[in-house]
Structure 1
Amino acid sequence: MDVVIVGGGPNGLVLACELALGGVRPVVLERLTEPSAEPRSNGLVGQVVRVVDRRGLFERLGGRPGPPTPNNAYFMFAAMPLNLSLLADSPVYALPVPEVQTVRVLEERARELGVDVRRGHSFTGFTQDDDGVTVTAEGPEGPYELRTRYLVGADSAHSPVRKAAGIGFPGVTYDRSTHRAAHVTVPAEWIDPVSGALDVPGHGRILPFLPIRTDHGGFTYAPLPDRPALIATAEWDEPATDEPMTLDEMRASVRRVLGVDVPLDPPHGAGPHVLRRLNGGNTRVAERYRDGRVFLVGDAAHVFAAGGTGLNLGMQDAVNLGWKLAAAVRGGQDVLDTYEAERRPAAERAVTYAQAQAALLSPGEDVTGLRALFGELLTQPDVVRVLADLISGTDVRYPVGDGAHPLVGRFAPDLDLRTADGEVRLAELVRRARPLLVDLTADGHLDVEGVEVVRAKADTAVTALLLRPDSYVAWASDDEHPDRDGLREAAARWFGRGDRPDA
Structure 2
Amino acid sequence: MEKQQVVIAGGGPVGLWLAAELRLNGISVTVLEERTEIDQRSKALTMHPRSIELLASRGIDQRFHDEAPKIPTGHFANLPSRLDFSLLDTPFPYTLFLPQARTEELFEEYARGLGATVRRGHRVTGFTEHADSVTVQVAGEQGPYAIEAEYLAGCDGSRSTVRERAGIGFPGTPFNFLGWLGDVALDNPPPLAFNQFNEHGGVLVAPLPGNRWRLAGTSPDGGATEWPGDLTMDELRQKTVAITGDDFGMRDPSWLSRYSNTTRLATEYRRGRVLLAGDAAHQHFPTGGVGMNYGMQDAHNLGWKLAAALNGWAPEGLLDTYHTERHLIGAQLEEHSRAQTLLLTTFTPEALAMRSLTAQMIAAVPEFGRILAGKISAIGIGYPSDDPAAHPLTGTRAPGLTFTGTDITLFGLLRANAYLLLDLTADGALADRAQERITVHGGSPDRAHDGWDDVRAALIRPDGHVARAWTEQDDAKLGAAVDDGIAAVLGR
Paired residue for 2:183? 182
8 Å CA contact retained: 2:343, 2:351: yes
Matches within 5 A, 1:214-229: 214-224=198-208, 227-229=211-213
- In structure 1, what is the Cα distance between the partners aligned to 2:288 and 2:444? 40
In structure 1, distance between residues paired with 2:381 and 2:248: 43
Q: Provide the residue aligned with 1:9 in structure 2.
A: 12
Instruction: Establish whether residue 163 from structure 1 lines up as the match of residue 164 from structure 2.
Output: yes
C-alpha deviation, 1:108, in angstroms: 0.8
Deviates more, 1:158-167 or 1:468-477: 468-477
- Name the aligned partner's letter for residue 264 of structure 1: G
Shift of 1:229: 2.0
For 1:356 and 1:243, locate their aligned partners in 2 and report how far apart those are by CA, in whole Å: 27
Secondary structure of the 1:476 match is strand
Aligned to 1:119: 120
Q: Distance in 1 between matches of 2:109 and 2:311?
A: 25
Cα gap change, 1:448/1:70 in structure 2, threshold over 3 Å: closer, same or farther?
A: farther
1:166 is displaced (CA, Å) by: 0.8
Distance 2:282 2:227 in 1: 27
- The separation in 1 between residues aligned to 2:337 and 2:275, in whole angstroms, is 24
Q: Tell me the CA shift for residue 371 of structure 1.
A: 2.3
CA contact 2:33–2:118 (8 Å) conserved in 1: yes
412, 416, 424: which one aligns with 2:398? 412
For residue 311 of structure 1, report the CA deviation from its aligned partner: 1.4
**Which whole-Å CA distance do the structure 2 matches of 1:275 and 1:117 have between them?**
27
1:125 is aligned with what amino acid?
A: G
Q: In structure 2, what residue type is equivalent to 1:13?
A: L
Instruction: Return the letter of the residue paired with 2:314.
Output: Q
Preserved CA contact (<8 Å) 2:87 2:370: no
- C-alpha distance in 1 between matches for 2:263 and 2:33: 25
Equivalent residue runs for 1:82-481 within 5 Å: 82=81, 84=83, 88-89=87-88, 93-187=94-188, 191=190, 197=191, 208-209=192-193, 211-224=195-208, 227-238=211-222, 244-258=230-244, 260-266=245-251, 274-278=254-258, 280-305=260-285, 306-334=287-315, 335-361=318-344, 362-378=346-362, 379-400=364-385, 401-418=387-404, 422-446=406-430, 447=433, 449-450=435-436, 451-459=438-446, 460=448, 461=453, 462-480=455-473, 481=475
- The SS at the match of 1:152 is strand
Q: For residue 125 of structure 1, report the CA deviation from its aligned partner.
A: 0.6
- Give the aligned CA root-mean-square deviation in angstroms: 2.4
Encode CA deviations 1:310-338: one digit per residue, 9 max, x unaligned: 11210010010000110111111141010
Q: Distance in 2 between the 1:309 and 1:365 partners?
A: 28
Equivalent position amino acid for 1:15 in 2: L
**Aligned-partner residue type, residue 145 of structure 2:** Y
Opposite residue 304 of structure 1, the aligned amino acid is H
CA separation in 1, counterparts of 2:116 and 2:33? 13
The answer to whether the 8 Å contact 1:345/1:396 transfers is no
Q: Give the secondary-structure state (helix, strand or coil) at the position aligned to 2:215.
A: strand
CA distance in 2, matches of 1:64, 1:441: 40
The corresponding residue for 1:24 is 27
Q: How many residues align?
A: 468
Residue aligning to 1:78:
77
Over 3 Å counting, the alpha-carbon distance change for 1:402 and 1:241 in structure 2 is: closer
Q: Match of 1:77, SS?
A: coil
Residue 483 (structure 1) aligns with: 478
Bigger shift: 397-406 or 161-170?
A: 397-406
* Aligned amino acid, residue 249 of structure 1: E
Which aligned runs of 4 or more in structure 1 are off by greater than 4 angstroms? 83-88, 238-244
CA apart distance, 1:472? 1.0
TM-score, scaled to structure 2: 0.88
The Cα of 1:79 is off from its aligned counterpart by 2.3
> What is the CA distance between 1:279 and its match in structure 2?
5.2
Q: Deviations for 1:456-486, whole angstroms, at most 9, x for unmatched residues?
A: 2322433222111111111123444363343
2:147 and 2:171 map into 1 onto residues whose CA distance is 30
SS of the equivalent of 1:81 reads coil
2:384 corresponds to which letter in structure 1?
A: P
- Any conservation in 2 of the 1:175–1:280 contact (CA below 8 Å)? yes
Residue 123 of structure 1 and its aligned partner are, at CA, apart by 0.5
Tell me by how many angstroms 1:448 deviates: 5.5
CA distance in 2, matches of 1:266, 1:138: 39
Contact 2:135/2:147 (8 A) holds in 1:
yes
Residues 212, 491 of structure 1: alpha-carbon distance in 2 compared, 3 angstrom cutoff: farther
Query: For residues 121 and 473 of structure 1, do their structure 2 counterparts lie closer, same or farther at Cα, with a shift above 3 Å needed?
Result: same
Q: Distance in 2 between matches of 1:404 and 1:209?
A: 43
TM-score normalised by length of structure 1: 0.87
What is the Cα deviation at residue 162 of structure 1?
0.3
| Structure 2 CA distance for partners of 1:84 and 1:144, relative to 1, 3 Å | closer
Q: Secondary structure at the match of 1:237?
A: helix
Q: 1:302 to 1:63 in 2, by over 3 A?
A: same
Deviation at 1:5, TM superposition (A): 0.6
Using the alignment, how far apart are the partners of 1:101 and 1:437 within structure 2? 35
Q: CA deviation at 1:410?
A: 1.2
For the structure 1 residues 50 and 301, does the alpha-carbon distance in structure 2 shift closer, same or farther, using more than 3 Å as the test?
A: same
Q: 1:111 to 1:372 in 2, by over 3 A?
A: closer
The Cα shift of 1:449 comes to 4.4
Partner of 2:47: 44
CA–CA distance in 2 between the matches of 1:89 and 1:241?
40
Once the 2 structures are TM-superposed, how far is the Cα of residue 251 of structure 1 from its aligned partner? 1.1
Cα deviation for residue 358 of structure 1 reads 1.2
CA distance in 2, matches of 1:47, 1:428: 15
**In structure 1, distance between residues paired with 2:35 and 2:257:** 23
Runs of 5+ consecutive residues of structure 1 not aligned to the other structure: 192-196, 198-207, 268-272, 498-503
How far 1:77 sits from its partner (Å)?
1.5
